Amino acid sequence: MTTTSEPVRQRSSILGTQVISKATARRLGVVSQLWLDMDQRQVVAVSVRDNLIAGTPQYMSLSSIALLGPDAILVDNEDVFEDINVDAYTSLIGSEVVTETGELLGKVRDFKFDPGNGEIFQLILSSLGIPLIPSQVVSTYELDVNEIIAVGRDRIIVTEGMEERLTQLTVGILERLGIGKPPWERDEDYISTVDPNDMLGTGSSRPSTARTVTTRASEDMWDDDNWSKSRPAARRKAPEPYYDEELEEADNWSDEAEEYEEPYEEDNRYRRDNEDAWSDEEPYEAPRVNIPQKQRQPEYEEEKDY
């Protein structure tokens, strides 16, 4: 059981608080995060680091805290750290808060809880949900956790008309100047990140829809004892040509002008190819050739003086 001087504490007042061992008076680190179990609506674990920015986080349960003071947290010894699966829990910071009708109320920036048992009382909302922005800059509102219907990973659903029952804690500068408005008064600027059909329900069961079962193609196992030749696939016939008889008959009786080809003149250059190559049309008369007659001359002349 955690001992504290204050019955209600805010998350922002605990972040950065030093954790000190009572046995050795050694500083173990500072608180960097609080983890909540929203099914139980309570804080269950605390993250401790060397500082708020760097360092490997170590986890301890809220019940391990011996004294929760305004300036320091005392634990019995240095063996308070445990192997806690924080993935099963949520920090709740930055989660959207919407009504059953989808009306955006803001985002969680802080919460109030009982440090003795970790029970959560109120959520503190703003339009941005960033704890580093001072409450004097943005308007903040308080929401009772009893108005929560369902809690998702990044979204909280509350009862319808909750925007009229919120308690305003601070008025931001923009709202004082008349520039800023509460999130539920500027619905046209809000784009829902989740389809309303995918939101968490109010507890009423939805009608079950029939699931379609898809069958997978299975490959037959080969059996050497029981097998048979596969039946040959039927041969596909070639498609027969299609003739439009009506179209052909219509062409015979159409009013289109008939086209006539020019008369073909046969080329006479090769007409004599089939005739006798040695036949003459007229008898051939050879020209007369004048051949001079040669006179015989003796080869030598006889000498008359002998």
pLDDT digits (tens, 9 = 90+) for 119-162: 999 999 998 888 888 888 889 999 999 999 999 888 999 998 88
Judge if pTM exceeds 0.85.
no
Q: CA angle 174-178-180, nearest 5°? A: 45
Q: For position 207, what pLDDT does the model report?
A: 57
Using CA atoms, how far apart are residues 69 and 59, in angstroms rounded to an integer?
19
For residue 60, list its beta bridge partners.
46
Domain with CATH 2.30.30.240 in the chain: 3-88, 96-187
> In this structure, are residues 82 and 60 in contact, taking their beta carbons and an 8 Å threshold?
yes
> In this structure, are residues 105 and 164 in contact, taking their beta carbons and an 8 Å threshold?
no
CATH-assigned architecture of domain 96-187? Roll (2.30)
Q: For position 127, what pLDDT does the model report?
A: 87
- Using CB atoms within 10 Å of the CB of residue 246, give its burial: 0 to 12 exposed, 13 to 18 middle, 19+ buried: exposed
CATH-assigned architecture of domain 3-88? Roll (2.30)
Q: Tell the residue number behind the tokens 């099963």, with chain if given.
A: 88
Q: For position 190, what pLDDT does the model report?
A: 47
Q: Tell the residue number behind the tokens 């063996």, with chain if given.
A: 79
**Which parts of the chain have pLDDT scores under 70?**
1-5, 186-233, 242-284, 297-306
Q: For position 257, what pLDDT does the model report?
A: 57
- DSSP-derived letter for residue 275 is S
Half-sphere exposure of residue 210, counting CA atoms within 13 Å on the CB side?
3
Torsion on CA atoms 278, 283, 284, 287, rounded to nearest 10: 180
Please give the backbone phi and psi of residue 163, each rounded to the nearest 5 degrees, phi first: -65, -25
Cα dist from 135 to 14, 131, 145, 168, 290, whole Å: 17, 8, 21, 11, 148
Please name which of 184, 206, 42 lies closest in space to residue 99, comparing C-alpha atoms.
184
